[in-house]
Amino acid sequence: MEQRKFEAVLMLLVPQVINLIMENYPDDEIAASKAFYEAKVYESLEDEATKLWHLSALTLFNMYDEERRTGAFTFPEEV
């Protein structure tokens, strides 16, 4: 995918995931953003080769939630 399109997809997905974090954890927007940007899920999302950008915000949140609870996350089979 072209870099600009990839960045545009991230700009759409990331705020949705951060909103889900705020809905499910007692984090404000700053804390939720910081937590997501520091997560391994986000690191993997930034790597276009992982194809995580194909996933929904809810699936990405579930991966983040798993990482937050257990320290690790599982790649979905559909990636």
The pLDDT of residue 5 is 78
In whole numbers, what is the pLDDT of the chain averaged over residues?
93
Q: Is residue 47 predicted with pLDDT exceeding 70? A: yes
For the question of whether the overall pTM of this predicted structure is more than 0.85, the answer is yes
Long-range contacts of 12-15 (CB under 8 A, 24+ apart): 13/45, 13/53, 13/57, 13/60, 14/42, 14/45
pLDDT band with cut points at 50, 70 and 90 for residue 79? low
- Would you list the domain boundaries of the chain? 3-70
The pLDDT of residue 7 is 84
